[in-house]
Amino acid sequence: MYQQLLKPILFQMDPEKAHHLTVDGMATAAEIPGFLPLLKSMYGVQRNPALELTLCGLNFPSPIGLAAGLDKNGVAVKGFAAIGFGFMEVGTVTPLPQSGNEQPRLFRLPEDEALINRMGFNNVGTEAMKSNLRRNGRVPIPVAVNIGKNKVTPNEEAEEDYRKCVRALYQEGDFFVINISSPNTPGLRNLQHGEELRSLLAAVKQEMAQQAVKIGGADKPVFVKIAPDLSTEELEYIMETIVNSGVSGVIATNTTLDREGLNHPNRTEAGGLSGRPLTEKSTEVIRRIYAQTGGRLPIIGVGGIFTAEDAYAKIRAGASLIEVYTALIYSGPGLVREIQNGLAAKLKQDGFTHITQAIGADHR
């Protein structure tokens, strides 16, 4: 139905309007009695014990997640859980609401199976997101809160913005993601390096620990999302800092500034590129991280995952979990079931009985 009916309509619309129509429509429809069971019957997946795993103390019904950026404000969590995702990120959220960059700021590149965005962390802020997540209630999958800094906050004060996000949303998220790799907030990627990174990670870890004491229970997991456009030397230094910080894991990768090999006229637009052109680039970053850390640091792989083969390549390279975004726009909600069924077949083909046996298999 998506490919034949909905996609042609949505792709005639402005990309950002189509985005809001889809996410807000799913949020509204989720309140209609019977909608979520209908959605689940159409697109949901059957739980497969071979694909269920526990990571950082959290139970994931499948390794397939929804990346940050689609449900920026946490309004449609129930709907995305119903179509079979094993976990999802909401955000990026900043302490104060912000409108983001000037429109237009989202562009399709159909012949490249890609998107370019320069959204600029447009979001409703932590207090409104808190209300949205509470309105959704608990869902049967882990929900990560992706956090960032406001555009007007200078880098030397960024730590307090990340602390504010944790403070406001600690009870709402199952784990947290520190976004320091979006190319669309000026200077943000500078936080990936040197003393700025060490200090930021220490501040977030300290705030997480304080909230754990205040609320009760163990610290919640924290992942760091990194850029794909790092040199070998930069990646080694960043990963050494991340490992030493004691955070739970890393998400590889965010969007890229690279435009090599693109054909669509929109390739000249500024912003972060996602989709098919990122497939190999992000997989290679995962491979290097796994090798550097000896597989001791959990990795969530994201970037250009359109098929089970793409997902499995990232898992064999070292990813414990994977996330999709752009492929969902091009393929529709049936994508989750296709990837899950394909992953199960790949495991069987390689003689594995559980997904954990495939993680980092290319290194053995």
For residues 62 and 233, give the distance between their C-alpha atoms in angstroms, rounded to a whole number.
Answer: 34
Structurally, the chain folds into a number of domains equal to: 1
303 CB burial (10 A radius; 0-12, 13-18, 19+): buried
Tell me how far CA of residue 6 lies from CA of 20, 23, 142, 150, 287, in angstroms: 14, 14, 28, 35, 37
Question: How remote is the C-alpha of 79 from its chain's centroid?
Answer: 17
CATH number at residue 152: 3.20.20.70
Nearest to 308 by CA among 63, 1, 2: 63
pTM: 0.96
Per-residue pLDDT of the chain (364 residues; tens, 9 = 90+): 788 889 999 999 999 999 999 999 999 999 999 999 999 999 999 999 999 999 999 999 999 999 999 999 999 999 999 999 999 999 999 999 999 999 999 999 999 999 999 999 999 999 999 999 999 988 999 999 999 999 999 999 999 999 999 999 999 999 999 999 888 888 878 888 888 999 999 999 999 999 999 998 889 999 999 999 999 999 999 999 999 999 999 999 999 999 999 999 999 999 999 999 999 999 999 999 999 999 999 999 999 999 999 999 999 999 999 999 999 999 999 999 999 999 999 999 999 999 999 999 999 9
State yes or no: is 41 an active-site residue: no
For residues 26 and 39, give the distance between their C-alpha atoms in angstroms, rounded to a whole number.
Answer: 10
Q: Where in the sequence is the domain holding 81, given as residue range(s)?
A: 2-363
For residues 335 and 324, give the distance between their C-alpha atoms in angstroms, rounded to a whole number.
Answer: 9
Q: If phi over 0 gives left and psi between -120 and 50 gives alpha, with beta otherwise, what is residue 351?
A: left
Catalytic residue, candidates 62, 181, 182, 331: 182
